[in-house]
Chain A
Amino acid sequence: MNLLDQFFILIAVALLSITVLRNFRINDKMAPLWYGLMVVMLVRMAAVAYDGATLTSAFNIEILGFNMHWQFNALSWFFAIITVVAALASAIFMSGDWGRQYRELYEGQGGNYGLLQLALILNVASMLLLLASGDLLSLFIGWEFVSWASFLMMVLMPSKTAKKAAVKYVVYAMFGAMALLAALAIIYSNSVSFSGSLEFEQITQVFAGMDKGPQFSLALLFFIAFAIKMGLLPFHLWQAVAYAETPGPGAAFLGAISSRMGLFAMIIVIIQFIGLGHLQGMSIGLPFINMQTLLAWIAALTTIIPTYIALQQHDAKRLLAWHGVGQGGYMLLGLIMFDSIGSAGGLMHVLNHASYQAALFLTVVAVVYRTGTSDLNKLGGLVTQMPLSFLVMLIGIIGLAGLPPMNGFVSKWMVYRSLLLNGEPLLFVAAVLGTLGTILSVYKLIHNTFLGQLRVEHQNIREVPWSMMVPMLGLSAIVFITGFMPGLILPWIASVQETIGLPVIIHHLGGIEYAKGGLDMIWVSGILFYGFGVGALIFYFLGSKAKRVHQYDNYAGGHFLSADVKYHYSNNFYPGLMHLIGDWYRGSFKWMEQVIVSALSFVSKLFENMYRSRQPVMLLVIVVVVALFSIYKNTAGVSS
């Protein structure tokens, strides 16, 4: 029994324990322990991440002549550690006072705290199962588990929007799963090169033996399946609302890692097994665009459009959830470049995004815990009441905006660098445009929540308890440390690159070495802090003293400020920018979605009406006519 088997047994025991004990208080204390143990197990498996070894589980199933097996390689380990740490943070967060409040507010109205715990462990277990999949069949089964587990988590908020978003998600997810199944069917039915197993290598083989047309449809089916989970354009509509309406820590977990399962599958199928050669060989009818360019542009538009939708949101959770969609674009954009630096940036962004997204979501949930709202127009000035949460959010938004010294900078820098070195200036501009939108909207987030005028009704609130503060601080520490010393995680990235057959990055503690200019974050952050340090030295050593004033002792054109004067400018943020770009928000994708929905419902109504027609005899007549026609046609074919 190797480490992977032990890991699966641990997951099974944890799942069983939480299922049985979920409605008892003891589970609150035990659930974080299970995730902690999983982290320990993953650390024990670290050889996978550093040496690029593969652990194969002894457990396998034989179905219809196909062998389903599970294995862990560097790629699986990389995604697994992110998943488990995100789950650990969420579990600690919800184990204390947050869980108590959730029980008080929502139990009996559709919310169920025990079910939330169960949903979390189900998500973790199914995601780990997916990550460990060793062939296409186990990938498909893991995929289905992940879809339904996410659905379970999304319906735990007693609001109509949550239910609606969850149902929308599950419709999308089923469409994706069907696309995946269809892709499997194409591989299975490809009699020329199909060798009787559904190992991943089959994809490469089948591709090699296919014409361009079927190749394209197979790649498209895989892409649809994974893009839906990832929220790539044009399948981005389901994700943000569904994640934002999930109960607090659940939203943090889903936003951090859940949709990256799509990226994981995409890395295996499209990057590892279809590969650059096939992608470039597949033309889509236009002379200068091949499949690689197309995917790159889909990724680039995914960074831009959802990010600018985020800019318009006035609900903190939705704003963050839309960024979750947008940042996925950077990951694919880096990976699709197929070089060492870009793919390292794309992979690293998975971890970086998970860390700051979870931290930011938890901060917003902490604010909701104290104030009861995440509406950005109803908050403000909380920095004096919740200074540590402010710090966490500050670190998080610096990471999300991709500014040094946080980790988001490192991965985004690598992606930019790769785009420039590969001669893709337009994609580079697109990526920078996405970052611009990110910076604008995260400023809106922190300004409307923590800065500005403190509302009268919030004057007595306090910082959140430590059970919530500890995971937030821990995550922000990860954001900073992996930004300051990216070399801590770059070995994992290098093993992943080796595993999936991409050029491997040369790294050191501070960053990367690259012939055309590397990056050393220790220097970058050092110089940044040096700048602040010089300022601080001048200020404090020349005898200056900071003076703290009340927020009403403030300049508002000479106005005497008081609690009844609202001077916090939060509604209709960026009116100048919106004046310029506001007309471009036309909701075309929403319109497209509605068109498809109404077309489908029209067709279904048509069939329903036919089935329920007044004269059931008509159905019989139709069936008989069709049957006669087909008999006639077939016999005609035989006789002639």
Chain B
Amino acid sequence: MKKELLIKEKQAKRTNPLAHVFDDFIDFCQSKSLFMLHYCTGCGAIELPPAMTSRFDMERLGIQPMVTPRQADILLVTGYVSVKTLKRVILTYEQMQAPKYVIGICSCTVNGGMYWQSYATAKKLNDYMPVDVYIAGCMPRPEAVLEGLQRLKENIKNDRKQQKGSAWKEYFANYDTYLGNQQHLFGDDWQTPVDIIAEAKLYGLEGEGTYGKNTEKLAKVQQPLLPQEMKL
């Protein structure tokens, strides 16, 4: 289900001869410092402690855990996502600041795995949010986890050349589709406090796929959560 990115790329003429050097440098830096929020939904979580601690030592790759989505770059979903959990995962994902990356660990995130027949489990994670890297296995060993993270780093580094690390842009560009899948699962009054369309405008990523009948449905039921005012 590869969709074309409908992004209004700012195609301004870059006059600075060093522009691509800066771009490469920024991509390099981004790939070397990643904070990870691990949303441990299932048994795959058990592979993370060895991956993080001294034996496999994820931190030597520049990746370390973070406690809140606001400061995190990677959302790690480790295992099956039940419908109830998926709501939380989506909220967490939407609260992250771009650029943000999603890694699905275990077969369950790929196709439901051994919960394929369960009525309460979301089968494919990338129906609900763009996934950058899947790490299959039941469960994948820490080596595989590190391999997947390395792959993500490569993607981020080559983002501008190959458009590989930009899955998060898809969420804004094709928000209507994702929202439709979410509404299908959670009902038409589904919403989170995060205003994705406003964020799409902020990042300059709104496209034709951002709006549609699903976002219209959302607009009808949405109760925006405005920031509190500082009152004197």
Interface of A with B (CB < 8 Å)? 384-385, 387-388, 454, 462-463, 545, 548-553, 555, 557-560
Q: Are A550 and B232 in contact (CB under 8 A)?
A: no
List of B residues within 8 angstroms of A559 by Cβ = 88
Would you call B88 and A550 a contact (CB within 8 A)?
no
> Contact partner of B231 among A463, A553, A555, CB < 8 A?
A463
- Interface positions, chain B 52-94, Cβ under 8 Å from A, are 68-70, 85, 87-89, 91-92
Residues in chain A near residue B89, CB distance under 8 A: 558
On whether the beta carbons of A558 and B193 are closer than 8 Å, the reply is no
**Across-interface contacts of A548 in B (CB, < 8 A):** 227-228
Q: How many A-B residue pairs have C-beta atoms within 8 angstroms? Tell me.
A: 50
Given the known A-B contacts A555-B70, A558-B39, are A384 and B91 also in contact in the complex, defined by CB atoms under 8 Å? no
Chain A residue with the shortest CB-CB distance to B85: A558
* Contact mask for chain B residues 200-232; partner A; CB cutoff 8 A; 1 contact, 0 none: 001000000000000000000000011111111
* B95 contacts A550, C-beta separation under 8 Å: no
B185 at the interface (CB under 8 A from A): no
Query: Would A550 and B39 count as touching, CB distance under 8 A?
Result: no
Using A384-B228, A555-B68, A555-B92 as known contacts, list a sample of 16 further A-B pairs with CB atoms less than 8 Å apart, ordered by residue number in A. A384-B231, A385-B231, A387-B230, A387-B231, A454-B228, A550-B225, A552-B225, A553-B225, A555-B69, A555-B95, A557-B88, A558-B85, A558-B89, A558-B91, A560-B87, A560-B88
Is B5 engaged at the interface, CB distance under 8 Å to the other chain? no
* A555-B69, A557-B88, A560-B91 known; A384 vs B193 contact (CB < 8 Å): no
Complex Cα distance A557/B91, Å?
10
What's the nearest-Cβ distance from chain A to residue B36, in Å?
A: 14
Expressed in whole angstroms, the Cα–Cα distance for A173 and B231 within the complex equals: 45
Residues from chain A with Cβ under 8 Å of B193 in the complex: 549-550, 552-553, 560
Write the nearest CB–CB distance from A499 to chain B, whole angstroms: 45
Contacts of A545 in B (CB 8 A): 202
Q: Which of A388, A462, A550, A558 has the most C-beta atoms of chain B within 10 angstroms of its own C-beta?
A: A558
Question: Chain B residues near A553 (CB, 8 Å)?
Answer: 95, 193-194, 225
The docked-state distance in angstroms from the alpha carbon of A454 to that of B227 is 13
Closest A residue to B93 by beta carbon equals: A558
Interface residues in chain B, defined as those with a beta carbon under 8 Å from any beta carbon in chain A: 39, 68-70, 85, 87-89, 91-92, 95, 192-194, 202, 225-232
CB-nearest residue of chain A relative to B91? Answer: A558
Can you report 12 A-B residue pairs in the complex whose CB atoms are below 8 A from each other?
A384-B228, A385-B231, A548-B227, A550-B226, A550-B227, A552-B225, A553-B95, A555-B68, A555-B95, A558-B88, A558-B91, A559-B88
- Which A residues are in CB contact (< 8 Å) with B231? 384-385, 387, 462-463
Rounded to whole Å, the gap between the CB of A461 and the closest CB of chain B is 9
- Across the two chains, which residue of chain B brings its CB closest to A387? B230
Kindly state the separation between the CA atoms of A552 and B225 in the bound complex, as whole angstroms. 8
Task: Please measure, in the bound complex, the distance between the C-alpha atom of A558 and the C-alpha atom of B68, giving whole angstroms.
Answer: 10
User: When the two chains form the complex, which single residue of B68, B69, B95, B232 contacts A387, counting CB atoms closer than 8 Å?
Assistant: B232
Query: Which residues on A sit within 8 Å (CB–CB) of B225?
Result: 549-550, 552-553
B92:A558 contact, CB within 8 angstroms: yes
CA distance A324 to B138 in the complex (A): 60
Q: CA of A62 to CA of B162 in the docked complex: distance in angstroms?
A: 99
In the assembly, what is the distance between CA of A463 and CA of B229, in Å? 12
| Residues of chain B lying within 8 A (CB to CB) of residue A557 | 88
* Residue of chain B at shortest CB distance from A384: B228
Q: How far is the CB of B207 from chain A (nearest CB, A)?
A: 22
Contacts of B68 in A (CB 8 A): 555
**Chain A hits for B85, CB < 8 A:** 558
Which of chain B's residues have a CB closer than 8 A to the CB of A384? 228-231
Contacts of A552 in B (CB 8 A): 193, 225
The distance in angstroms between the C-alpha atoms of A54 and B196, with both chains bound, is: 73
Enumerate chain B residues within 8 angstroms of A555, measured Cβ to Cβ.
Answer: 68-70, 92, 95
B191's nearest neighbour on chain A, judged by CB, is A560
In the assembled complex, the CB of B32 is this many whole angstroms from the nearest CB of chain A, namely 18
CB distance from B54 to the nearest CB of A (A): 24
CA distance A61 to B71 in the complex (A): 72
Set of chain B residues within 8 Å of A463, measured between Cβ atoms: 231-232
Contacts of A387 in B (CB 8 A): 230-232
Q: A555-B95, A559-B88 are in contact. Are A550 and B228 (CB under 8 A)?
A: yes
Closest to B68 in A: A555
Is A388 touching B232 in the complex (CB atoms < 8 A)? yes
A560 → B minimal CB distance (Å): 7
Cβ contacts under 8 Å, B230 to chain A: 384, 387
| Nearest CB of B to A369, in Å | 16
CA distance A45 to B29 in the complex (A): 63
CA distance A395 to B228 in the complex (A): 23
The minimal Cβ–Cβ distance linking B204 to chain A, given in whole angstroms, is 12
Give the docked Cα–Cα distance between A428 and B22 (Å): 51
Min distance, Cβ A536 to any Cβ of chain B, angstroms: 18
- The smallest beta-carbon distance between B212 and chain A, in angstroms, is 24
Question: Nearest Cβ distance between residue B231 and chain A, in whole angstroms?
Answer: 6
- Complex formed: what's the CA distance from A120 to B110 in Å? 74
Closest Cβ of chain B to A456, distance in Å, is 13
Say how far A161's CB is from chain B's closest CB, in angstroms.
34
Kindly state the separation between the CA atoms of A627 and B209 in the bound complex, as whole angstroms: 112
Contacts of A454 in B (CB 8 A): 228
Closest to A386 in B: B231
CB-defined contacts of A550 to chain B, threshold 8 Å = 193, 225-228
Bound-state CA distance A555–B66 (Å) is 12
CB-defined contacts of B194 to chain A, threshold 8 Å: 553
Nearest to A462 among chain B residues (CB) is B231
Measured between beta carbons, the chain A residues less than 8 angstroms from B229 are 384
A558–B86 Cα distance when bound, in Å, is 10
Q: Which B-chain residue is minimally distant from A459 (CB atoms)?
A: B228
Which A residue sits closest to B71, measured CB to CB? Answer: A555
Residue of A388, A551, A555, A559 most packed against chain B (CB within 10 A): A555
Alpha-carbon distance between A605 and B69 when the two chains are bound, in angstroms? 68
A454 to B68, CA, bound (A): 20
**Shortest CB distance A252–B (Å):** 23
Contact between B228 and A551, CB atoms less than 8 A apart: yes
Q: How far is the CB of B10 from chain A (nearest CB, A)?
A: 13
Which residues does chain A contribute within 8 Å of B226, judged by CB atoms?
A: 550
Name, among B68, B88, B230, the residue most crowded by chain A CB atoms within 10 Å (CB to CB): B230
In the complex, A462 Cα to B229 Cα: how many Å? 11
B101 to chain A, nearest CB (A): 17
Q: Which residues of B contact A560 (CB under 8 A)?
A: 87-88, 91, 192-193
Residue of A nearest to B97 (CB): A547
